[in-house]
Amino acid sequence: MQIPCHGSWTPATIRGAVGNVRSEDGVNAESNAENADIFRRYFEMVHQPDGEGNPPPPLEREMPAMAEVIIIEDEVKAQLQALKNTKAAGPDDIHPVILEPLTEVLASPLAKLFNRSLQDGRLPGD
């Protein structure tokens, strides 16, 4: 098999041909224009826009409320201790090697920060 040189890959060499299609009345198309016309009519038929200004009715189902989430200090400690020192820093640019010795100091304020964020429903600003 010979590998083509750069620039020889044109759409004509890699695109497969579309055969002639058959219209709804069973007649085969004879040209690309007729193929396109058959496809146009088909997609116009199956993709009818919804009625003007008539959105679908809302679903009548009740969503259960999310249970209250409380993050405890021990969970934060466990997650900080589970960080892998060989991994890169996260989006906060703090490397796990820096966080590991500070686990005892950071666990309580981080737990408070996470719980406040959950309670307020927003993330703290930078």
Domain map (residue ranges) of the chain: 21-46, 73-120
| Residue 40 dihedral angles phi and psi, to the nearest 5° | -60, -50
| 1 SS3 class | coil
d(CA 64, CA 119): 18
- Say what the pLDDT of residue 83 is: 92
Pinpoint the alpha helices (H) of 1-102. 11-14, 32-46, 73-81, 96-99
46 vs 52: which has the higher pLDDT = 46
pLDDT above 90: residue 24: no
Mean pLDDT, residues 93-108 taken together: 93
| 10 SS3 class | coil
Q: Which pair of tokens denotes residue 114?
A: 């996470």
10 vs 88: which has the higher pLDDT = 88
pLDDT above 80: residue 57: no
74 vs 55: which has the higher pLDDT = 74
